[in-house]
Amino acid sequence: MEERVLDVPSHVPRRARAAAMVAFATNGALPATLLARYAEVKDHLALSPATFGVVVVGFTIGAAGAFHLPGMVLRRMGMRWTTVIGTAWIALALVVTASGVAVGSAAIFVAGLILAGFGDAVVDVAQNAQGLRVQEVYGRSVLTSMHAGWSIGAAIGGMVGTAAASAGMPLTLHLVTWGALCVIAMATAARLFLPDGRRPTAEETTTGPLSRRAMLSLAPLALVALAGISVEDVGNNWSAVLLSTERDVPASSAGIGLSVLLAAQFIGRLVGDRYIDRVGGRTALITSLSAVAVGLALVAWSPGAVSTLAGLALAGLGCAITVPLAFARADALPGLRPHAGVTWIGWVMRTATIALSPAIGGVATASSLPVAVSAVALIAVLALGLQLRSGDAPMVRQGVDGGFSRIR
């Protein structure tokens, strides 16, 4: 395929890349700052652990409930306004959660989480669409490093939340202030976004279910994304439990497992784009899925804590590029409305996340936690098998002339 090189000033995509990084960072920073105060929220609302576990899933339910609406909103409003307005929506929704805590209403708190999750689903599609647009102009992989921006933002948001709690700052004041800062940062950065590209037709701006053929094409990529997100679920919800119950690590130190996984994932996202460009998208997917499968197997069956931590690190490195690659390939599939592939993959991930942790818990109760983690590893094995059977695929959406843009 012959490349079509456009005379785009080099500073334009560089600034757009930085702006997209800000979008990912604010998207991570907004919910993370509330997560850091969840223990305080639980106490204020006088919730039992079981009830609190049901309450906080509201964010994921709201995101899954967006269905295919994010793609429709994005096609109508464009990437810039969708991201800015969506970020403001999330910030306001989190203020609603704070008001629920202030008046002692769990129902208001849940309503705020549901609204925030809905906005998060919309922003997630918009920021990935901008990242893919920047990647298209660069003509090489850059999306993975943008996902690293989310990790940085989440870490900063968590630290801000911890500091606010330590200082005794009221939750409402904390979320109003932090939300305003994030919205201002996003609105400023969005001015540097690349334009959306071609204007969608009237038919493309409408919404509707994907065809059976389209879903069959997207299904292997959904498995790739699910393999990646399942590693995060194991790390977030089960790594400390496994280390303390199966590897005799003191409960006070068991959180090291999540830290190791997230650090490895962050490193993988920093170097992932170079690796993808060096070996190609298909090879990168095969190696990343292999790392996830082997890493989770080590986590499940390693005899000691050190080897278990090594497994978490390997799985973290592997999952660093799975979701960005799945988004890039879904966006490049022919015959879909703009952003429909990214929207569908995101919806599958969020919907599956609702059931994933309870499923792990169910298998662990019926058998053991190592068996449950092994079952999660099978997702990566299945995704790997489908990738081994398929050919390579483009990483950017092709234009009508079959080419793509690259900066000089």
In the DSSP assignment, the letter for residue 251 is G
124 and 226 co-located in one domain: no
- State the pLDDT at residue 396: 56
Query: How does 314-342 read in b/e, with b if 16+ C-beta sit within 10 Å?
Result: bbbbbbbbbbbbbbbbbbbbeebbbbbbb
* Residue 2 forms part of a structural domain: yes
Indicate the pLDDT class of residue 211, thresholds 50, 70 and 90: low
The 10s digit of each residue's pLDDT in 50-75 is: 788 778 888 989 988 888 888 889 98
* Residue 277 forms part of a structural domain: yes
The 10s digit of each residue's pLDDT in 338-356 is: 788 888 898 888 888 888 8
The 10s digit of each residue's pLDDT in 129-176 is: 999 999 989 989 999 999 999 889 988 988 898 899 889 999 999 999
* Residue 408 forms part of a structural domain: no
Mean of pLDDT values over 322-346: 87
Mean pLDDT of the chain: 87
Percent with pLDDT over 70 in the chain = 89
**Owning domain of residue 80:** 1-208
Domain end call among 148, 183, 208? 208
- State the pLDDT at residue 1: 33
CATH code, 371 = 1.20.1250.20
Query: Considering its fold, how many domains does the chain have in total?
Result: 2
Please report the DSSP string for 154-208 in residue order.
Answer: HHHHHHHHHHHHHTT--HHHHHHHHHHHHHHHHHHHHTTPPP-SSPPPTTTTS--
67 and 164 co-located in one domain: yes
119 and 194 co-located in one domain: yes
Mean of pLDDT values over 183-189: 97
* Residue 405 forms part of a structural domain: no
The 10s digit of each residue's pLDDT in 1-38 is: 333 334 566 778 899 999 999 999 999 999 989 988 88
Q: Of 310 and 202, which is predicted with more confidence?
A: 310
- State the pLDDT at residue 198: 57
> CB-hemisphere CA count at 13 Å for 38?
14
